[in-house]
Amino acid sequence: MRKKIKIMSYKEKFELEYLFKTSPKALDRMISTPGGLSEWFADDVNIQDDIFTFFWDGDEEQARLLTKKTKSKMKWRWLEDEEDDDDAYFEIKYEVDPMTKSVIVMITDFAESDEIDENIRLWDNQIEKLKTVLGA
């Protein structure tokens, strides 16, 4: 009998937090819809069933939607990671700070150790784009 051995992700998890002065409803549209995502995250986005196709400069990447909670979070796994049986995912979670009424956006992502800094810069740039689009 053959056993399938599950290999844990060779990627390292990292988490980022950003503060927004916007409403969860406005943020939700920007994170959960193709139109919203194409304004800040990718050049274009298509959704078919639970598969999101993201387009950047002529390249495309596909991710499966794992979790969607309105006004709370979206979580995806790249199909490439899924095919490699990798547990890596990326998640955008947000909540309202009860004291300041600002929205805290938390990003969880995975990258190879030598690519973490580059991925953090990429998220910083994308989040700045999102803040600009929202006027936040």
For 93-123, the pLDDT digits (tens) are: 999 988 888 999 999 999 999 999 999 999 9
- Partners of 75 in the beta sheet? 67, 91
Strands, sheet with 12-20, edge to edge from the N-terminal-most edge strand = 12-20, 103-111, 90-96, 73-78, 59-69, 51-56, 44-48
Cα 54 to Cα 49: distance, rounded to the nearest angstrom = 14
Query: Which CATH number fits the domain that encloses residue 80?
Result: 3.30.530.20
Is residue 6 one of the residues assigned to a domain?
no
pLDDT at 1 over 60: no
Residue 101 has what pLDDT? 87
Provide the residue range defining the domain that includes 33.
12-134
Residue 6 has what pLDDT? 47
For 55-91, the pLDDT digits (tens) are: 999 899 999 999 999 889 999 999 998 888 788 999 9
For 3-20, the pLDDT digits (tens) are: 444 445 578 999 999 999
pTM of the full structure: 0.85
Write the CA distances from 120 to 31, 102, 130, integer angstroms. Answer: 18, 22, 15
Is residue 5 one of the residues assigned to a domain?
no
24 band by pLDDT with thresholds 50, 70 and 90: confident
The total number of structural domains that make up the chain: 1
Cα 96 to Cα 111: distance, rounded to the nearest angstrom = 28
Find the angle CA(64)-CA(67)-CA(73) to the nearest 5 degrees: 120
Is residue 127 one of the residues assigned to a domain?
yes
Residue 116 has what pLDDT? 94
